[in-house]
Amino acid sequence: MGNRKRKTVVESRSVMHRLVMPEDSNTLGTLMGGVLMHWMDMCAAIAARRHSNTYAMTVTVDRIQFVGSVRVGEVVNLEAEVTRAFRTSMEIGLRVIAENLDTGEKRLCASTFYSFVAVDRHGSTLPVPEVIPETDEQKKRYRDAEERRTARLEDAGRIREEAEAFNRQQP
Ligand SMILES: CC(C)(COP(=O)(O)OP(=O)(O)OC[C@H]1O[C@@H](n2cnc3c(N)ncnc32)[C@H](O)[C@@H]1OP(=O)(O)O)[C@@H](O)C(=O)NCCC(=O)NCCS
């Protein structure tokens, strides 16, 4: 780890704004969850790529709860940044804030964590720079990332067993 490059959280920061159009909505005139998840994945991927400066593949998305709906004509602000890097994987924290342009009201709609793995053009994993947390909030997220990663890897073990059992049954 001695010569490993180090980067701050801010260096990976990714911010996106989307005006919700009718084609993004469901039949109630509110933003479709799938469209929002696509934007979330893009925003998180940009943060992962900024940190790693290489290709980044989504490995996990933690629980997503849509706290409130977003109406057509409102703006969705997405903010993502790396919270911690391990060897080849990175945790990205993301939050989604809806904004009413008429009133200026802003509402938190969703927040979650993504895991990305850095890969080369052939899909082989690559080491990523370490993260330097600077603020108290960044330091807390950095510390807590270890526990979240352990929980994800436990899940991954169970899911892998399920996949192997399914694959064994195939002709
Ligand atoms: C990402 C992928 C290349 C990793 O392959 P792998 O055989 O698990 O590789 P490794 O075991 O070396 O794991 C690589 C890293 O991923 C981490 N990882 C693997 N599964 C994980 C999970 N469920 N949650 C968090 N991290 C995970 C490992 O801990 C390791 O991180 P580290 O190097 O920082 O310790 C492989 O799982 C893959 O191709 N998945 C599909 C990705 C994809 O198609 N995404 C959707 C579209 S982009």
Atom index in ligand 1 nearest the CA of residue 115 equals 25
Task: Report pLDDT digits (tens) over 58-107.
Answer: 999 999 999 999 999 999 999 999 999 999 999 999 999 999 999 999 99
How close is the Cα of 74 to the center of ligand 1, in Å?
36
Q: How far is CA 9 from CA 23, 36, 130, 132, in A?
A: 34, 24, 10, 6
pTM of the model: 0.93
Q: What span, in angstroms and rounded, lies between the C-alpha atoms of 130 and 84?
A: 7
How close is the Cα of 50 to the center of ligand 1, in Å?
18
Q: What span, in angstroms and rounded, lies between the C-alpha atoms of 148 and 146?
A: 6
Q: Which residues pair with 89 in a beta bridge?
A: 117
Let me know: does 81 contact 12? Beta carbons within 8 Å: yes
Task: Report pLDDT digits (tens) over 113-158.
Answer: 999 999 999 999 999 999 999 999 999 999 999 999 999 999 999 9
Let me know: does 88 contact 128? Beta carbons within 8 Å: yes
Pocket test for ligand 1, best of 63, 117, 159 (most atoms within 8 A of CB): 117
Atom index in ligand 1 nearest the CA of residue 87 equals 34
Q: What span, in angstroms and rounded, lies between the C-alpha atoms of 130 and 124?
A: 19
Segments making up each domain of the chain, as ranges: 6-169
Written as one letter, the residue type at 83 is T
* CATH dotted code for 6-169: 3.10.129.10
Pocket of ligand 1 (CB under 6 A): 57-60, 86-89, 115, 117, 119, 125, 149, 152-153, 156
How close is the Cα of 157 to the center of ligand 1, in Å?
12
Which residue from 80, 78, 60, 89 is spatially nearest to 20, judged by alpha carbons?
78
